[in-house]
Amino acid sequence: QKEVEQNSGPLSVPEGAIASLNCTYSDRGSQSFFWYRQYSGKSPELIMFIYSNGDKEDGRFTAQLNKASQYVSLLIRDSQPSDSATYLCALSGSARQLTFGSGTQLTVLP
Amino acid sequence: ETGVTQTPRHLVMGMTNKKSLKCEQHLGHNAMYWYKQSAKKPLELMFVYNFKEQTENNSVPSRFSPECPNSSHLFLHLHTLQPEDSALYLCASSQGTGKDEQYFGPGTRLTVT
C-alpha cells in the first residue's frame, strides 16, 4: 500500500458544484495534513492544512480529517473553472519529511 | 523579494555542460529542500537541509550536487546530466523539518539535450 493514495482522476465537475477530493494514508502516526494546488506548469501552492479530527473551513475550501479511518478530504464549494488544477495531499508521519501523494487532477467545466 | 525565489526559471543544457540552480527564501525558515517533478509523476524529494546541514539525500546520483551556504540560500550544481534528468526542479522551505508546511518556489524547468 502506498503511503499516501489519491485518485489520479481526472475528476470533472460542473461550475458551481461541490468538488470532493480524497486522500487515504497508511501511517497511523501521521499528525499534520496539507493540501496543495498545482496549476499546469507551475509549482505547488499551499491552500489548507489541518491537524485535528473534524472540519476546517477557509472560504470555499473545507478540509476534513478522520484519523480513525485514515483519510483526509478537501471540499471545494461553488467550484470555478479557475479551480481546475492538480491537488496534492501531503502529510507528516513517522518519516522526517512531508510525504506527498501523486495528486488528483480536477477539471471544472463552465 | 518575497517567499521563495528560484533562478533561472528555464534552462537548456547539453549533457557535457555544468550549470547551477539557485534558490533563495525570504521567510526566515531554517529548512530547505530540493524536489524533482517529472511529467505525470509525483514529487520526488532529493535533498533536505536543516540549519545548513544536509539531513537527507534520497539516493540521488552524484551528477546532482547540492550546496547550502546559509539558511536562506540553496544551490543545486549540475554536471554531465542525462536526458532523463529533464524535469521541473522545485525548491521549498519550511520553518523546521517534519511537521511544518513547506512553501515552494516557482521552479526551474530543465531540459537536457
Q: Which CA distances in Å does B105 have to A24, A38, A53, A104?
A: 27, 12, 30, 21
Q: Which CA distances in Å does A72 have to A64, A75, B32?
A: 6, 10, 26
pLDDT value of residue B33 = 94
Residue A87 scores a pLDDT above 70: yes
Inter-chain touch B48–A32, beta carbons under 8 Å: no
Residues A74-103 have a mean pLDDT of: 91
Residue A1 scores a pLDDT above 80: no
d(CA B49, CA B67): 9
d(CA A58, CA B31): 27
Of B111, B62, B43, residue with least CA distance to A36: B43
pLDDT tens per residue across span B70-96: 999 999 999 999 999 999 999 999 998
CA closest to A42 among chain B residues: B106
Q: Which of B98, B105, B107 sits opposite A96 (nearest CB)?
A: B98
Residues A51-57 have a mean pLDDT of: 94
Inter-chain touch B45–A42, beta carbons under 8 Å: no
Mutate to test the interface with B, among A37, A39, A43, A51 (most CBs of B within 10 A): A43
pLDDT band at A2 (very low <50, low <70, confident <90, very high): low
pLDDT value of residue B9 = 97
d(CA B57, CA B98): 15
Residues A67-91 have a mean pLDDT of: 96
pLDDT value of residue B51 = 86
B19 burial level (CB within 10 Å; 0-12, 13-18, 19+):
middle
Residues A8-22 have a mean pLDDT of: 94
d(CA A91, CA A32): 5
Residues A30-59 have a mean pLDDT of: 94
φ, ψ of residue A82 in degrees (nearest 5): -70, -10
- Among A11-20, A92-101, B4-13, the range scoring the smallest mean pLDDT is A92-101
pLDDT value of residue A9 = 81
pLDDT band at A98 (very low <50, low <70, confident <90, very high): confident
**How many CA atoms lie less than 13 Å away from B107 in the CB half-sphere?**
21
Residue B85 three-state SS = helix
Cell of B86: 529533464
pLDDT value of residue B102 = 93
pLDDT value of residue B40 = 76
pLDDT value of residue A92 = 87
Residues A43-53 have a mean pLDDT of: 94
Residues A49-78 have a mean pLDDT of: 96
Q: How long, in residues, is chain A?
A: 110
Residues of chain B with pLDDT below 50 are none
φ, ψ of residue A61 in degrees (nearest 5): -100, 140
